[in-house]
Structure 1
Amino acid sequence: MAGVRTALMTTTIYVCTTCKTADDPSPDRAGARLFKALQEVAHTHQSNVIIEGVECLSVCKRPCTIAFSAQDKWTYVYGDFTADDSAEQILACAAQYAATNDGLIPWKERPDALKKGVIARLPASLTSSRTPETSS
């Protein structure tokens, strides 16, 4: 049915794979390690979100950075994740995001790592199937 929105729309987690931290001794960038960890955890949990690596989310002062996005939903951008132990909480929050109709996740319901670190909340695209509200 065209125009019908469901909470089961595809959710994508975008992961900045070029994020790095100044004090990280690893030769692999922290963002690339977070991306790999998310893929591994999603595979073991049979998560139905798409995890996509992107070259840069332009939030270089807040590594590691991710974004949740889905059609007709608000997009969230989060930062300040550690590469090696944030995957579980990110995927838990992605499941909450996927279960909403609009992408809005109440602050109190988010995992701790996603209560802080919010960089931006962007409205759903105006090119989506809904009609923008008009102002008087």
Structure 2
Amino acid sequence: MAEDTHRIFVCTTCRHQGSDCRPGFELMKKLQDALAVAAPLTGASFEVSGIACMAGCSRPCTVAYRASGKATYLFGDIDPDEDIDDLVAFAAQYRGLEDGWCSSPTRPGKLRRTTLARIPAAMIASESSKVNVS
């Protein structure tokens, strides 16, 4: 497997219903710190960054995992105080998956039931191989 950078995006726009608080900034910092400690397990190839709205507004906070040639995942209902361990465990799992594909029962903890989307990796079409784009 290539040592391509894996990316984790944290929505910084999300608000919990009835609140002006934007917990994405807190979640991003806690996740960055936890991944730094877990680097022997997860590898040093993760970048964590904030991103404006990922359209998971009804299920804040939203977090996405992405890497070249792998399925992308979007999770919602993430709590900065309770779900950091699950996010780090998934980072280690995701890094080890050749195509990023895993079923919900194999995901850690809360991430088994809070998946908003799994987007397959894009296939590149070329005339010489006659492969369709998916």
TM-score (norm 2): 0.82
* Aligned with 2:108 (options 92, 108, 111): 111
* Structure 2 residue runs without a partner (length 5+): none
Runs of 4+ deviating beyond 6 Å:
none
Cα displacement (A) at 1:44: 2.0
CA distance in 1, matches of 2:130, 2:104: 26
Aligned length: 127
AA matched with 1:112 = G
* Aligned with 1:80 (options 77, 80, 84): 77
CA distance in 2, matches of 1:120, 1:61: 14
Q: Please state if 1:15 is matched with 2:10.
A: yes
* Aligned with 1:33 (options 26, 35, 43): 26
Cα displacement (A) at 1:134: 3.9
CA distance in 1, matches of 2:132, 2:14: 39
Indicate how the Cα distance of structure 1 residues 85 and 9 shifts in structure 2: closer, same or farther if over 3 A, else same.
Answer: same
Asked whether the equivalents of residues 125 and 132 of structure 2 are also in contact (C-alpha less than 8 Å), the reply is: no
Cα displacement (A) at 1:107: 2.3
Asked whether the equivalents of residues 77 and 120 of structure 1 are also in contact (C-alpha less than 8 Å), the reply is: yes
* Structure 1 residue runs without a partner (length 5+): 1-5
Indicate how the Cα distance of structure 1 residues 64 and 132 shifts in structure 2: closer, same or farther if over 3 A, else same.
Answer: farther
User: Identity of paired residues, percent?
Assistant: 35
- State the secondary structure of the residue aligned to 1:57: coil
AA matched with 2:15 = K
RMSD between superposed Cα atoms in Å: 2.4
TM-score (norm 1): 0.81
